[in-house]
Amino acid sequence: MGTHLLNASDVSRFVKTVFPEANSFGLKIDSLVDDEIIVSMTVLPEHLRPGGTVSGPTMFALADYAAYLIILAHIGEVALAVTTSLNINFIRKPEPVGLRAVCKLIKLGKRLAICEIHVQSGDNNLVVAQATATYSIPA
């Protein structure tokens, strides 16, 4: 499971064509090594909640997105993986600053892939959410 077919710039380029919202999210692949990807996002006014924290759906979207990217790196551009389930735990309220997701591919089967994701916030990378995502791999 350690080798991937696409590198960070391949993945970024492909995603920008198929997911236009990747651009508006300000998503950026910070690193892609073996089974782990680190993806950062800019937090914009529409991602905030009253009280100055980042919304749950924003953290969900970042976690889901990081999982999609690491799977894409391993199965290649042709395939279209879709999320079948996502379990997320909100650990503490993030500050209204940029987020990053550290995502590990822990299973890549013929039909299912599973990732563990930590969503981190701020300069000290405090873990604000933990998620497990399952994707279906097309035949």
Locate the DSSP E strands across 23-111: 28-33, 36-41, 48-49, 53-54, 82-90, 99-108
Q: How far is the CB of 52 from a second copy (least distance, A)?
A: 13
- 3 vs 139 by CB, closer to a second copy: 139
Q: How far is the CB of 116 from a second copy (least distance, A)?
A: 7
- 9 vs 85 by CB, closer to a second copy: 85
Query: Which among 37, 66, 42, 39 is positioned nearest to 54, based on CA atoms?
Result: 42
> Which residues of this protein are in contact with a second copy, per CB under 8 A?
18-21, 46, 49-50, 55-58, 60-61, 64, 82-93, 106-107, 111-112, 114, 116, 118, 127, 130, 132, 134, 136
- Please give the helix or strand (H or E) that residue 18 lies within, else none: helix 8-18
